[in-house]
Chains A and B, each alone.
Chain A
């Protein structure tokens, strides 16, 4: 207390003189501004903000005032305390920003350094393409059906209306399991899965069967003894070739682009009748490379159309073998090469790349899944 309590004139208390409070604020501002860094600021802080700072001391004097004058005095002191605190905070923020900027600049790194700390993996393009094709049919409501890769000749041939002397049964066209007469083959097509699907399910049946198939072809640029197909089968009342066409066009457009055009030629397969082979109008040259040696197209080999697979209406004999009444149900089936689809979709010239397991090859397909 600087003076007696009573009687008392507030204007007589020196610490509360307007010039004293203004001076204290100004002095604080000057010292805060003069602080070069946060440490210097911290050093001058107690003198202006601490308990013994002029503004705090002034606040203590208030109790000496007559009660009716205290709110007025208190307000003036609080304004002064706030002003000092604001000056401090302002300077503290500025100095903190400066310090952070300095520190962060010092922590700068070369962000272009390689960041491949973990080796990169990749999926193979064939299973990736297989999943992509299956997804298209899953979205339409199809299920994915599966069957064994080593299969009975009954499923691979007999049930598919392939006669006992059909050339595809020869040792040159199908792998057989020992001993002679085992009746067991490496499936030469995914079509036996059709038979399994029809034996295991009841119509309506809508399935696709992607998988690995085998034929004893010496590997070359366009052949490999092990390759992959996706088979489709739909059995329902009232299905026609129009539905087959609609389905394949939808499939082709989702896979190769919305402007994909399909043509189909009559063909022959024992398990479908009528049968057809769908061709895709080359989506690279759109047929313009035909007879145009100046603009050759390696995707369609300048033939304009790309052979894509086989299809047709399921032969009623096949339906009967699977216990399905062909007078009630009809159906269509189709099969496409997955490896071939990868090849022409990606412009690959040589099948060897698909089977050699060179990690650089698979890695190139990352992001296409």
Chain B
């Protein structure tokens, strides 16, 4: 809401010295935040005067129309001014900036030769004066200002405008009427209500009206105004107020309806009476009906749309925009003014359906005073009479009766309890009455005052909100009014005594540890968008039966190319990797921890669950069942060098094992050990992909990416990746089971085993462990060798076994016996032979 300071002063006796900043701060404290403060006209200085065009000489030979005018500017000699506009005629009153004037944007005016003539000033367009965006022609003034008069005064060019952010619950504040009321609260000054007007009783001479659907519109009022002189212009003061308030002047009849809407808050529509076919009806649109709205767009109406109709069909989209067929024109003499009260949700739906926001619709959506149509029509009729020569004595129709506001039961101490500021009862009552409520305290009639304030504070009362406050429906709404007017700053600051908490849950601790562990192992965390393209499911090689193929699809994705929610964190990491590489970084290791989203195989739909009481356990379960699975994943992508090159030697490129290592680090932070086994899955290289298991559960994959994926995703060669489902790993929270730490000396034995080249090291390792039994403290693979000596298709795996007993020093026989048992088990399971 753009509050024009000079306009506000019509209703509130603001101190002359009060600045827009001070007033804005007061509004902010009441809940109307200042978006910005403007001072239109402040950047116009110097001689800007009224001029009268004396004669016009057309200059030819230019590729656009150019005219040289002689303009009387209240000085001894007229000025010669060159002008490109075509909308001026001899005798017109115009605005002339004389040499020395400065217009908005620092545009300094000087006498200068142009098109072969000296132009001794400039005839201004509205835009050049800072009066809106209109630059179609120069400004021709109505009325009878005298040449030479200061145009800044005549045009009301200078003012101050406070642009306030009005929250959608406070529709009443989208008018000067409501703003004046708030200003009076803020400054503790009396305010005059512009709607406090004498309203005639409805009569029989009005244009007929009928409401067919009272759920969409509970009242319509029509006022007939006849004998309008269509040539009469909008007075300059009204034009400037409209412009400062952000609206464009159009014609007197339209401008008056807009002016009254801004002033009193009732949106109105003006029909050309001669173009109406019969009485006006209010109803829902019928299937197949169409309407051409004012801005010339032919619209298919929806059966939920509220329309204004006459015998010809719909003539307006109710409360949103009028129709073209009954529009006011330059020939309109008789006008029917309509002021209705529309159902806010119906308006909201129509605006969204037709993508047609309007000043009127916004007000109806946020709540218009249902009782203000009478004063608004009276005010509009009076303005048309005063400035348009119209008569408006009879012709007033009122149909429908909006429901009266219901009283709210309020404990008088509730505002003080909820705010914590403990307001006395008389403060509560005074503040509620200030916003326009009627307060009836229980037993107030019989009270003799001797009971003391304590009893009054415990008393209850009935509070009936004023008609302009449809937002006041419950005690909490009244609490806010009292607290707001008393000032939020007056509320004390107290830290509540919170009962002891439980700390982070095991899930939260583990997730956090995974992030720290990955970061500490040299990977950089990123946060990426969770959207992905349809094609990426195929590119990543997820098979149709894979849950990773069951992506959740958005109805309204930000980009149509990415309508899916991610089923894997990898696409987002690939994007981050590409961006880093694109910026010249080569060695990149990034990770992300976040949710993947997997549609369930048979996703049930959401049940309808009412509000106002606690849903049943079955309803809660049904709501949750409608949601997709959303497991927490951790994923990492590595490219380029992993160990950097340095003075210590050459670097080492990231390979599949770094991806496995990252997975092991993450799983290790979860207290789990992942066991790899060879697999072919999704985006990974089929020969370099490890399926990762915890026990029997598959929890993720790691390895080098498939060359096809690398090329399709435009990634660096040999990019490696891992992805883990943290939820699948689980968050077991059992106490650790530490071993009895033996202080006896260990025996270290090396064994080299020759196995078939495709034997997996993990199998050999687990066989060694199982065969060695409890005396094996650790085994470490320290060499893998394949060569001619072994023969084709063979490889040698060399292990160091560290043997130790908990209770004694091992003898050589015991040590070699254990080793032999380990080798024997490896031989049995994997065909391993001791290398000799």
Residues of A within 8 A of B (CB): 113-114, 116-124, 126-127, 131, 134, 138, 140-144, 146, 148-155, 158-159, 161, 163-167, 170-172, 175-184, 186, 199, 204, 206, 212, 216, 218, 225-226, 234, 236, 238-243, 245-247, 249-250, 263-268, 273-277, 313, 315-317, 320-323, 330, 354-360, 362-363
Residues of the A chain whose Cβ atoms lie less than 8 Å from the Cβ of B613:
320-321, 323
Residues of the B chain whose Cβ atoms lie less than 8 Å from the Cβ of A155:
623
CB distance from A262 to the nearest CB of B (A): 9
B290 within 8 A of A: no
The answer to whether A158 and B498 have CB atoms under 8 Å apart is no
Report the nearest B residue to A142, measured CB to CB.
B501
Please, could you name 20 A-B residue pairs with CB atoms under 8 Å apart, sorted by A?
A120-B522, A121-B521, A121-B523, A126-B527, A131-B512, A149-B595, A152-B626, A171-B555, A181-B605, A199-B614, A242-B421, A243-B495, A246-B492, A265-B28, A268-B167, A268-B169, A273-B480, A357-B580, A358-B583, A359-B580
B589 within 8 A of A: yes
* Contact digits for B15-32, partner A, Cβ 8 Å, 1 yes 0 no: 000000000000011110
Residues of the B chain whose Cβ atoms lie less than 8 Å from the Cβ of A315:
476
Residues of the B chain whose Cβ atoms lie less than 8 Å from the Cβ of A239:
496
Given contacts A176-B556, A183-B605, A240-B418, contact A141 B642 (CB under 8 A): no
Residues of the B chain whose Cβ atoms lie less than 8 Å from the Cβ of A152:
606, 623-624, 626-627
Residues of B within 8 A of A (CB): 28-31, 33, 167-170, 344-345, 348-349, 352, 417-421, 474-477, 479-480, 483-484, 488-489, 491-496, 498-505, 507-508, 512, 515-516, 518-530, 552-558, 565, 572-573, 575-577, 579-580, 583, 585, 587-590, 593-595, 597, 605-606, 609, 611-615, 620, 623-624, 626-628, 630, 642-644, 646-648
Report the nearest A residue to B349, measured CB to CB.
A165
7 shortest interchain CB distances as A-B pairs:
A242-B420, A357-B576, A323-B614, A266-B31, A183-B606, A240-B420, A274-B480
Residues of the A chain whose Cβ atoms lie less than 8 Å from the Cβ of B573:
357
CB distance from A267 to the nearest CB of B (A): 6
The answer to whether B524 and A149 have CB atoms under 8 Å apart is no
CB distance from A116 to the nearest CB of B (A): 7
Given contacts A150-B627, A163-B345, contact A242 B525 (CB under 8 A): no
Residues of the B chain whose Cβ atoms lie less than 8 Å from the Cβ of A274:
418-419, 476, 479-480, 483-484
The answer to whether B420 and A212 have CB atoms under 8 Å apart is no
The answer to whether B614 and A121 have CB atoms under 8 Å apart is no
Once the chains are docked, how many angstroms separate the CA of A120 from the CA of B507?
26
Residues of the A chain whose Cβ atoms lie less than 8 Å from the Cβ of B587:
119
Given contacts A123-B516, A206-B499, contact A267 B605 (CB under 8 A): no
CB distance from B615 to the nearest CB of A (A): 8
The answer to whether B418 and A263 have CB atoms under 8 Å apart is no
The answer to whether B167 and A159 have CB atoms under 8 Å apart is no
Given contacts A144-B508, A158-B609, A359-B580, contact A165 B524 (CB under 8 A): no
Residues of the B chain whose Cβ atoms lie less than 8 Å from the Cβ of A263:
489
The answer to whether B609 and A186 have CB atoms under 8 Å apart is no
Report the nearest B residue to A363, measured CB to CB.
B524
Residues of the A chain whose Cβ atoms lie less than 8 Å from the Cβ of B475:
316
Once the chains are docked, how many angstroms separate the CA of A152 from the CA of B556?
16
Given contacts A178-B555, A323-B614, contact A117 B527 (CB under 8 A): no
Given contacts A226-B530, A273-B479, A273-B480, contact A122 B525 (CB under 8 A): yes
Given contacts A177-B553, A356-B579, contact A321 B611 (CB under 8 A): yes
CB distance from B589 to the nearest CB of A (A): 6
CB distance from A47 to the nearest CB of B (A): 42
Residues of the A chain whose Cβ atoms lie less than 8 Å from the Cβ of B588:
359
CB distance from A308 to the nearest CB of B (A): 13
The answer to whether A184 and B418 have CB atoms under 8 Å apart is no
The answer to whether B421 and A355 have CB atoms under 8 Å apart is no
The answer to whether B522 and A119 have CB atoms under 8 Å apart is yes
Once the chains are docked, how many angstroms separate the CA of A131 from the CA of B643?
30
Once the chains are docked, how many angstroms separate the CA of A274 from the CA of B483?
8
Report the nearest A residue to B525, measured CB to CB.
A124
The answer to whether B580 and A121 have CB atoms under 8 Å apart is no
The answer to whether A141 and B498 have CB atoms under 8 Å apart is yes
Once the chains are docked, how many angstroms separate the CA of A216 from the CA of B418?
36
The answer to whether B525 and A240 have CB atoms under 8 Å apart is no
Once the chains are docked, how many angstroms separate the CA of A362 from the CA of B526?
7
Once the chains are docked, how many angstroms separate the CA of A140 from the CA of B620?
30
The answer to whether B345 and A164 have CB atoms under 8 Å apart is yes
Partner of B419, one of A241, A322, A363: A241
Having A141-B499, A184-B626, A247-B496, one finds 5 other A-B pairs with CB under 8 Å, namely A148-B627, A183-B605, A264-B488, A313-B479, A330-B418
CB distance from A1 to the nearest CB of B (A): 50
The answer to whether A243 and B494 have CB atoms under 8 Å apart is yes
Residues of the A chain whose Cβ atoms lie less than 8 Å from the Cβ of B484:
266, 274
Once the chains are docked, how many angstroms separate the CA of A347 from the CA of B783?
52
Residues of the B chain whose Cβ atoms lie less than 8 Å from the Cβ of A204:
498-499
The answer to whether B500 and A165 have CB atoms under 8 Å apart is no
Given contacts A121-B522, A167-B168, A268-B168, contact A355 B528 (CB under 8 A): yes
Once the chains are docked, how many angstroms separate the CA of A323 from the CA of B617?
12
Given contacts A124-B527, A268-B167, A268-B170, contact A117 B648 (CB under 8 A): yes
Report the nearest A residue to B565, measured CB to CB.
A150
Residues of the B chain whose Cβ atoms lie less than 8 Å from the Cβ of A178:
552-555
Once the chains are docked, how many angstroms separate the CA of A359 from the CA of B579?
10
Given contacts A124-B527, A268-B169, contact A242 B494 (CB under 8 A): yes
Residues of the B chain whose Cβ atoms lie less than 8 Å from the Cβ of A183:
605-606, 626
Once the chains are docked, how many angstroms separate the CA of A142 from the CA of B525?
27
The answer to whether B474 and A184 have CB atoms under 8 Å apart is no
CB distance from B744 to the nearest CB of A (A): 35
Residues of the A chain whose Cβ atoms lie less than 8 Å from the Cβ of B605:
181-183
Residues of the A chain whose Cβ atoms lie less than 8 Å from the Cβ of B30:
266
CB distance from A330 to the nearest CB of B (A): 6
Report the nearest B residue to A141, measured CB to CB.
B498
Residues of the B chain whose Cβ atoms lie less than 8 Å from the Cβ of A242:
419-421, 491-494
Counting chain B CB atoms within 10 Å of each CB, which of A138, A218, A357, A362 scores highest?
A: A357
Residues of the B chain whose Cβ atoms lie less than 8 Å from the Cβ of A165:
344-345, 348-349
The answer to whether B420 and A243 have CB atoms under 8 Å apart is yes
CB distance from B69 to the nearest CB of A (A): 41
The answer to whether B418 and A241 have CB atoms under 8 Å apart is yes
Residues of the A chain whose Cβ atoms lie less than 8 Å from the Cβ of B518:
121
Partner of A119, one of B477, B556, B576, B644: B644
Report the nearest A residue to B575, measured CB to CB.
A357
The answer to whether B527 and A127 have CB atoms under 8 Å apart is yes
The answer to whether B554 and A177 have CB atoms under 8 Å apart is yes
Residues of the B chain whose Cβ atoms lie less than 8 Å from the Cβ of A246:
492-496
Once the chains are docked, how many angstroms separate the CA of A130 from the CA of B345?
38
Once the chains are docked, how many angstroms separate the CA of A323 from the CA of B476?
18
CB distance from B474 to the nearest CB of A (A): 7
The answer to whether B493 and A249 have CB atoms under 8 Å apart is yes
